[in-house]
Amino acid sequence: MRKGLLITLMAISALVSCKRIPLYNRETNLELELELNLDLDLQLDLDIDVDIELEMATIKEPEYLKTNFYDPQTGQMVYSQFVGTYGGALSLGPGRYTMLIYSFGTEYIQVRGENDLNTIEAFTSDITESKLKTLQKFTGATKAEDPTIIYAPDHLLVTRQEVEIPEFSGESQTITISSVVQTIVDTYIFEVHTVVGAEYIESAEAFVTNQSRSSFFGKGEISQDPVTIWFPVGVDRDKGCLYTVFNTFGKLPGASESLLHIFVRDTGGNAYTFSVDITDQFDNDPDNEHHIVIEEPIDIPEPESNAGGIAPSVDPWSEENVDVPIG
C-alpha cells in the first residue's frame, strides 16, 4: 500500500516539475492597452430603407484579439496569446519584437500562416458553386476563364508595432504597451439611383471584378491574385433604388479595369443582368468617400407571372436570362 502511494506521489511530482515556466518576472506587470478605432466615416443615406442588413456598414467590437510577437530579424513568431477587447496582461520577457495584433472571431475572414510575419494572411472563402455558375452564365465565360469569386471580407482590426521591453529591475514595476487597432479592409457604399420597376424585384446581388484575393497584413501588403467579390444588394421598392455597403481588401494593384455586374431576379422568376465599368470611381476618389454611384437608370419590366403577388421559387437555371444595357 505504501509502495503504491509512493509511486502516485512520484507521478504527481513529475507532472508538477513539467509545468511551463513563464517568460516574465512575476514581480513586473507587463500590460497591453488597446484603443479600438471602430469609425468608418461612412455617409450613409438614412432615408433609404432596403430589404437587407447593411452588415458591412459597422465594425463589431471583438471579444478577443490575438497578440503575436515576432523576431524582427527572422520574422518568426516567438510568443502568442489572446487578450480581451481592450488588452490585458502579457507574459513576455525583455527584448525587441514586432507586435502584431488582430481581432479574433470574424464571420467571413480566416487567417493562416501566422507563424511568420511575412506569410500571415487574411482571406475569405470562395462562394458557392451556384453563385459561380450565375456569374459564368451572365458574363459568358467558359469554365477555363472562370474567375475566383470570394465572399466580401468583414472587418479585421489590426495593429502592427515595433516594441522594446526593457530588462526588468528588481523592484515591482508596471510596463505598458499602448496601441490602436483599426480595420484593414476598404468599405464602399454602392447605389443605383433610379430603378424603374423596383417593385418587381425579388432579390439582387452584385459582383465586382479585379479585386485583391487577400491581405498579408503582417507586412502591410495585399495579394496580387485577382478575384471577383460577391455581395448582396438591397432594394428600396418605394424609392426605386438599389443600395448596399460592401468591403474589399482593395482593388488589384495595376488592374486596368473593374467591372460591376448586377444580377436581379424578379417576382416572376426572370433574371436580368446589368454591367458597368466603375474603374474611374475606384481610381479617382480624391475625397476618399468610397461611394460608387450609378446614375444611369435601369429598367425592370413587369413580369407576366406577377398577377397575384410573389411567384413561387424557381430553379436558378430555369429562368429566362435577359441582358439589359445600362443607359
Using one digit for the tens of pLDDT, what is the confidence trace for 81-119?
A: 999 999 999 988 899 999 999 998 888 899 999 999 999
pTM, full prediction: 0.80
Average pLDDT along the chain: 81
Which residue in 31, 28, 172 sits closest to 89, CA to CA? 31
Percent of the residues in the chain that have a pLDDT greater than 70, as a whole number: 78
Going from the C-alpha of 16 to that of each of 4, 10, 20, 21, 91, the distances in angstroms are 19, 10, 9, 11, 20
Beta strands in 213-270 (DSSP E): 214-216, 221-222, 226-236, 241-248, 259-266
Across 281-304, average pLDDT: 87
Strand 95-104 versus strand 201-212 pairing type? unpaired
**Look-up of cell digits 503582417:** 218
End-to-end Cα separation, the chain, in angstroms? 93
What cell does 268 get?
Answer: 416572376
For CA atoms 122, 133, 193, 49, the dihedral sign is negative
Alpha-carbon distance of 260 to 17, in angstroms, equals 62
pLDDT band at 8 (very low <50, low <70, confident <90, very high): very low
pLDDT attached to residue 65: 96
Alpha-carbon distance of 261 to 257, in angstroms, equals 13
pLDDT attached to residue 175: 87
Alpha-carbon distance of 105 to 172, in angstroms, equals 35
Q: What pLDDT digit, counting tens, does each position of 122-174 carry? A: 999 988 777 677 666 655 554 445 568 899 999 999 999 999 998 876 667 78
**Look-up of cell digits 511551463:** 20
What cell does 254 get?
Answer: 495595376
Going from the C-alpha of 79 to that of each of 10, 95, 303, the distances in angstroms are 32, 12, 61
Compute, in degrees rounded to 10, the torsion defined by CA atoms 301, 306, 307, 308. -140
Alpha-carbon distance of 170 to 285, in angstroms, equals 55
- DSSP string spanning 12-50? HHHHHHTPPPPSS-TTEEEEEEEEEE--------TT---
Q: What angle do CA 244, 40, 114 make, to 5 degrees?
A: 100
Q: Could you give phi then psi for residue 12, rounded to 5 degrees?
A: -65, -40
Which residue in 218, 174, 177 sits closest to 71, CA to CA? 218
**Which spans in 163-295 are helix H?**
279-283
pLDDT band at 24 (very low <50, low <70, confident <90, very high): very low
